[in-house]
Amino acid sequence: MRLDYLTIFPDYLAPLRLSLPGKAVESGLLELHVHDLRSWTTDKHRTVDDTPYGGGAGMVMKPEPFGAAFDALEIEPGDTIVFTTPSGERFDQRVAEDLATRSRLVFACGRYEGIDQRVIDHARTRAEAREISLGDYVLNGGEVAALAITEAVVRLLPGFMGNAASLVEESHAAGGLLEYPVFTKPPTWDDRSVPDVLRSGDHGAIARWRHEQARRRTAERRPDLLAPSALADGTPIERAVPGDAGELMTLQRACWVQEAVANPGAPIPAFAESLDDVRAWLGEWDTYVVRRAGRLVGAVRGRLEPDGTTWDIGRVMVAPDVQGQGLGRALLEHVQAAAPAAATSYTLFTGAGSDRNQRIYKKAGFRLRTDLPAPPGAVVLVKQRSHA
């Protein structure tokens, strides 16, 4: 990837050479070019700004230097010009992942009151042009944003980060949760000990603990990052609590009575479970419920398998009298969105004879996997998680 920066403060971008490992530049993975915009001025004062048409405070950056710079840098259609600006699209991990697919980014860093609009309009005629904001606060120029965007993008380039696995776990990847708490030696410091589970060697328990910690942190600090918590009609999708066990048992019996009648004698755990059984699994699964008029009418559960990367989905349940309204699909989407960042695939079981359910899951992107073990009378469907 080639990175160009147009700025009137080239020294501001000197940290680029410190923060991006030199070996990435030496290996050719990265090409960095910082340009002083004044190189493309033509007057003796090297003027880059002028008073705003229409009046108002401050100065506006003139279009000519940018135009001359774009020509000199030979910017072409396959390039991407990034204008950092408070009025741009909000920069986040998804934008970083998108920009990381480009072969060349040219950062146009404004100052003063901003860049003459005709520069942006011109840029759109010769390349992809993106106006990107670092966040909802006002800086004095675009260089800080260019540095932040650069770091977030470059670290995603294949081969840049030594341990690619750490990229997968990161919280803001694919709409994930906040980071879980991390610990290192010594085992006790300031009379504070590292959680026992992290020293247990039980990778499944560790993954579940980390997921729960991340969920708790996210719910406390950034509930907006949690999976969409409502149906299209505004009905909330809520986390089940232990007190929901009775209604969940009733719902699952209602949902499976049809299957039990259709398949006499078939083993249907969901139909046979007691209230204590439901209470038990409620403590092990992330379970989500939907209520209508105070009645529990839909539920779904998910949990991370011991491998730490497979999100196990189960008990997609919709009360028989409200089926056919898209509630099952919404619950299935919700439980996928709620999967932890570490999850790379989803898996679920359904009745071997449940053609309708299998059609629904296949339509949702799941694929039948007859090569994988399944409980008696059931089949496995799997879906790879897309990080789009």
Q: In the complex, which residues of this chain contact ligand JD8 (CB under 6 A)?
A: 84-86, 110-114, 133-135, 137-142, 145
Nearer to ligand JD8, 86 or 353 (CB): 86
Shortest spacing between CB 383 and ligand JD8, in angstroms: 37
Shortest spacing between CB 213 and ligand JD8, in angstroms: 30
Chain centre distance of CA 33: 30
Helices (H) and strands (E) in the chain, counts: 13, 16
Nearer to ligand JD8, 34 or 282 (CB): 34
Shortest spacing between CB 25 and ligand JD8, in angstroms: 24
CB neighbours of 208 closer than 8 A, spacing ≥ 6?
Answer: 303, 304
Shortest spacing between CB 20 and ligand JD8, in angstroms: 19
Nearer to ligand JD8, 138 or 165 (CB): 138
Our CA angle for 298, 339, 272, nearest 5°, is: 40
Nearer to ligand JD8, 133 or 252 (CB): 133
Q: Where are the alpha helices (DSSP H) in the chain?
A: 15-19, 22-26, 63-72, 93-99, 117-126, 143-154, 164-169, 203-221, 245-262, 269-272, 275-282, 327-337, 355-363
Shortest spacing between CB 171 and ligand JD8, in angstroms: 21
CA distances from 296 to 301, 315, 322, 375 (A): 14, 14, 11, 27
Shortest spacing between CB 93 and ligand JD8, in angstroms: 16
CB neighbours of 125 closer than 8 A, spacing ≥ 6?
Answer: none
Exposure letters 231-248 (e unless 16+ CB within 10 A, then b): beeeeebeebeeebbebb
